[in-house]
Amino acid sequence: METIKSASQKQLTDNLVEKGEKVLSLALYFMSGFILSGAGLFSVRIPLCTGLAAACTGTDLLAVCAGSITGCFLRVTPENSLGCLIPLAGTVGMVFTLEKLHLQIKRTSILCAAVFLFSFAASTVLMFAYEPSLNSLMLNLCSASLCAGSVTFYTGTVGCIKKKRSIYLLDNHSLICIMMSLCTLFLGSSEVSILGFRPARLFGSFVILTAAYLFSQAGGSIAGVSIGTCVAVSGTSVALSLCYGICGLASGIFSKYGQLVCALVFSGIAGVSALIDGSAEGISVFAEAAVASLIFTAVPRKFLIGIRSDIARPQERRVASEYSEAKERILEASRAIGSVSRCVRSVSDGIDALTPANDVIVCMRVKERVCAECQRKDSLCPESGEFADIIEKLSRGESVAAEDFSVNFNLNCPNVSKLADSFNRIYSGRNAVSALQAGAARNRELACNQFDATAKLLKELSEDVENDATALHSKERIALRVLSDRDFEVKSVKCAQSVSGALQLKCTVGDIPAGTSLTRLTAALSSELEIELNPPKITTVAGGKELVFLRKEIFDFRFGSASASLGNRKLCGDYFECFRTESKAYIIMSDGMGTGGRAAIDSAMTVELFSRLIRAGISLDTALGITNTALTVKSDDESLSTLDVAEIDLFSGEAQILKAGAAPSFYTVSGRVRIVEPPSTPLGILSNIGFSRYSLKLRGGDMLVMVSDGMLGSGSNWLRDEIKAARNPDAREFSELLLGTAQRKCGKKYDDMTVVTLIMEER
């Protein structure tokens, strides 16, 4: 019962809040209509309330109409009232007509045209009825144009209010619409005067001070010029209006010294301007600036600093702190695993240092078993003499007998036969123990290599946490507006760009509206974001859909391959794979040791494991170390394979060729063929291995050819000539041509052969 009662109370509270917001919204629209009905520019009345009415619907439209009608009767002359009410009535009729027809396409453009026609027709008819003149006709044309233009930014402002869009998620378009709407309200209220003081100018001074403090001299000067222009056209002296821009610039420059200094500079310059002007209006401007400065200094400093940080970099501080904590934890894990590796190596070195030589242990064990009870052991058992010769023979893999000891030793030692038998047994047993110890040492080294690779991987991840991508909050705001304007229920928008230039826009929405064209949506986002995007990948998530847009690469490529095994066997010892990530293309090739099934297993394991690590975001060097260790422990037999990797950035054309024992590669630049042949070591031999690297830059039309060593059985000059002679070939056909030529040149003695061709293209 208590739960039900609590839920009903919460529902009642929510309903009251919702109704309160609706009442405040209607009051806002009523006051806006009232103020805009008397807007003037150079003593010319402009019915801007008509533009606001065109941007509203439903009860909001009725509130605007009520405010506008009230303002027309209370604030302006009958002639100007008719010039406002007639276009207002026509605009309201047009809005209801569009609502009835459910016409949303080009709605804003249609209403702009309608507002222009209604305003110009009404003012022109009234002009001919009172005092026709060419000058009045031109003023009517300009007034109608301003009313039509106001529809655009009023529509943007009303959209932000209806969707309750946070100020921190407003893009430049929305901010401009809101600022223009505020300026028009300023024009409409600028004529109101109380004992010579104008509240609109007071409010304008406060806005300039706030902008200067939040955005330094840029914000102060822009706000000052904007407010000053509105003040000038509303009837204030032009000389006094200019001081607002100077006040904004100066207070922005001194804003770094605090609120008080910013306010003193603003009011001080306003006072100097008033003294220079010497009029009563100048004194009013100074008094308004002083009162605005006083109000500004009363605003809590922490509040203003918080707004400045959030607007400039929304949520960046919170995200940075979380990333920093995660980075430190990953780094700590990396250090811990690295210390385990160092500890294991230290213990291994200690074991090796404490373990005596094999021959010393054998002699000690023999003496313990045979010579311990002999009374002549101290005089007849010189290891450096008799036993050293015996150990040398055993080390050659031979067994020893009593005859292998000296004649003198045989005459004086009563246990020669037992000694020979004990040497044979203990030495063979000790060899088995040594083999086990060597295997344990090898396993310890492999474990250390895995620990090192894991520690390196964690360190890379800690660096990627903060440095891999940059959040683009401004583009998130733009994408939010574009989706909202197309009736998407947007839940979240995230836009990030990696260091390589790849950009990902991830949008979570409630559902995709019926009739939505994803092609047009992609084109609109590309145009607004000024980045060409690919069509989205759509996945179903909890509560809606997730649309992921990726930046379209600057480069693309054509890929072709051909391979043949020795003797046309089913299994080829060469293996390759070509794939692409969000920003890069990869070609990975391996040549296993020998031919047939075993070589095929080694090469396939090398390529598959390495490519999976790369797809998971692991660096090339770390992936190489892990793959090398896996190949080493695959079996007790020696497993060798080469690794040939090409990494190509599809945004810049930068490419890296990385080789571990692989055959040379060939590429073209401006028609010239160049060879990549750095010295390197195959995988599976050494515990520590590294790539040999070669960097290059590819452009549209350039070609990269990677081959296995079987292709070079008859040299590489012919291959360079074939590549140089090629003119924009088909990648697959060119690979088959090279393979066939290599088979003819090598004859029946050819090895497993593979050739991979990649041709770059600019989009």
Q: What is the pLDDT of residue 237?
A: 65
Distance CA 493, CA 318 (A): 17
Question: What are the structural domains, with CATH classification, of the chain?
Answer: 21-189 (no CATH), 193-307 (no CATH), 313-467 (no CATH), 470-550 (3.30.70), 555-762 (3.60.40.10)
Joined together, the tokens standing for residue 110 give 């249609």
Number of Cβ within a 10 Å radius of residue 676: 22
The 3 state secondary structure assigned to 659-697 is EECCCCEEEEECCEEEEECCCCCCECCCCCCCCEEEEEE
What is the pLDDT of the chain when averaged over all its residues?
Answer: 76
DSSP assignment of 355-368: SPPHHHHHHHHHII
Are the C-beta atoms of 677 and 664 separated by less than 8 Å?
yes
> pLDDT: is 737 or 629 the higher one?
737
Assigned token pair, 191:
């004529």
Q: Which of 180-184, 566-570, 651-655 has the highest mean pLDDT?
A: 651-655
Compute the average pLDDT of residues 575-586: 85
User: What would the mean pLDDT of 434-440 be, rounded to a whole number?
Assistant: 59
367 class by beta-carbon count within 10 Å (0-12 exposed, 13-18 middle, 19+ buried): middle
**561 phi, psi to nearest 5 deg:** -150, 165
Give the mean model confidence (pLDDT) for residues 379-398.
65
More confident residue, 223 or 460: 223
pLDDT at 176: 74
Predicted confidence band at 684 (pLDDT cuts at 50, 70, 90)? low
Identity of the highest mean pLDDT range in 282-286, 407-411, 429-433, 608-612: 608-612
Cα distance between residue 207 and residue 244, in whole Å? 11
* Nearest-angstrom CA–CA distance, 189 and 75: 11
Structure tokens belonging to residue 31:
């006051």
- List the Cα angle 40/45/50 in 5-degree steps: 100
CA 532 – CA 51 distance, rounded (Å) = 34
Tell me how far apart the alpha carbons of residues 274 and 77 are, in angstroms, rounded to a whole number: 33
E-strand spans in 47-120? none
Which amino acid is located at 550 in the chain? L
Q: Which of 216-225, 315-324, 453-462, 711-720 has the lowest average pLDDT?
A: 315-324
Considering only residues 16 and 166, tell me which one the structure prediction assigns the higher pLDDT.
16
Most confident of 348-357, 363-372, 440-449, 702-711: 702-711
Asked if pLDDT for residue 323 goes beyond 50, the answer is: no
The Cα 73–Cα 416 span in angstroms is: 135
Long-range contacts, 511-519 (Cβ 8 Å, 24+): 511/544, 511/545, 512/488, 512/538, 512/545, 512/547, 513/486, 513/487, 513/488, 516/486
CB neighbour burial string for 333-345, b if at least 16 within 10 angstroms, e if fewer: bbeebbebbeeeb
Residue 758 in contact with residue 580, Cβ under 8 Å?
A: no
Which tops the pLDDT comparison, 56 or 385? 56
pLDDT at residue number 383? 47
**Which pLDDT score, from 0 to 100, does residue 354 have?**
43
pLDDT at 315: 43
What confidence tier does 320 reach under pLDDT thresholds 50, 70, 90? very low
C-alpha 359/C-alpha 369 separation (Å) is 16
Alpha-carbon dihedral 352, 354, 356, 362, rounded to 10 degrees: -100
Is 697's pLDDT higher than 60?
yes
Q: What is the reported pTM?
A: 0.50
pLDDT of residue 756: 92
d(CA 709, CA 690): 20
User: Rounded distance, CA 616 to CA 607, Å?
Assistant: 14
Residue 562 and residue 473: Cα distance in Å, rounded? 47
pLDDT of residue 633: 62
Q: CA 495, CA 504: separation in Å to the nearest integer? A: 6
Dihedral of CA atoms 741, 746, 752, 753 in degrees, nearest 10, equals -20
pLDDT in tens, 31-76: 888 878 767 665 667 777 888 888 888 888 888 889 888 888 777 7
Distance CA 287, CA 194 (A): 13
Place of tokens 């040497």: 423
H/E segment holding residue 475:
helix 473-485
pLDDT category, 336, cuts 50, 70, 90? low
Question: pLDDT digits over 639-674, tens only?
Answer: 678 889 999 988 888 899 998 888 899 998 877 889
Cα separation of 176 and 172, whole Å? 6
Q: What is the amino acid identity at position 567?
A: G
Q: Write down the pLDDT at residue 705.
A: 92
CA distance 623 to 606: 10
**Sign of the torsion angle spanned by Cα atoms 177, 181, 182, 184:** positive
Decide if pLDDT at 157 tops 50.
yes
How far CA 478 is from CA of 108, 171, 179, 307, in Å, comes to 19, 5, 17, 20
Q: What is the pLDDT of residue 755?
A: 92
* Amino acid identity, position 629: T
List pLDDT tens digits, range 245-268.
Answer: 788 778 878 877 888 888 888 888
- Cα distances (Å, whole numbers) of residue 323 to 317, 423, 465, 492, 739: 10, 65, 6, 20, 51
Tell me the average pLDDT across 495-501: 71
pLDDT for 182 beyond 80: no
Q: Which CA distances in Å does 424 have to 361, 366, 478, 563?
A: 13, 10, 85, 55
Q: Which residues is 693 bridged to in the sheet?
A: 658
Residue with tokens 């109704």: 19
- 401 pLDDT exceeds 60? yes
User: Which residues are 553's β-sheet partners?
Assistant: none
Rg of the chain on CA atoms, in Å: 42
The pLDDT tens digits for 612-628 are 878 877 778 877 877 77
For tokens 């109380």, the residue is 194
pLDDT at 271: 83
Out of 115-124, 341-350, 754-763, pick the least confident: 341-350
Residue 383 tokens, joined: 């290891």
The pLDDT of residue 356 is above 70? no
Residue given tokens 């979380």 in the structure block: 322
Contact 67, 37 (CB under 8 A): yes
Instruction: For residue 105, count other CB atoms closer than 10 A to its CB.
Output: 6
Q: Which two tokens stand for residue 275?
A: 């003294």
Closest by CA to 699, choosing from 657, 645, 759, 756, is 759
- Better pLDDT: 717 or 332: 717
| Dihedral over alpha carbons 336, 338, 341, 342 (to 10 degrees) | -100
Q: Is the pLDDT of residue 277 over 50?
A: yes
Nearest to 661 by CA among 699, 690, 638, 702: 690
Q: Is the pLDDT of residue 757 over 70?
A: yes
| pLDDT tens digits along 89-136 | 888 888 888 888 777 667 788 888 888 888 888 888 877 777 777 777
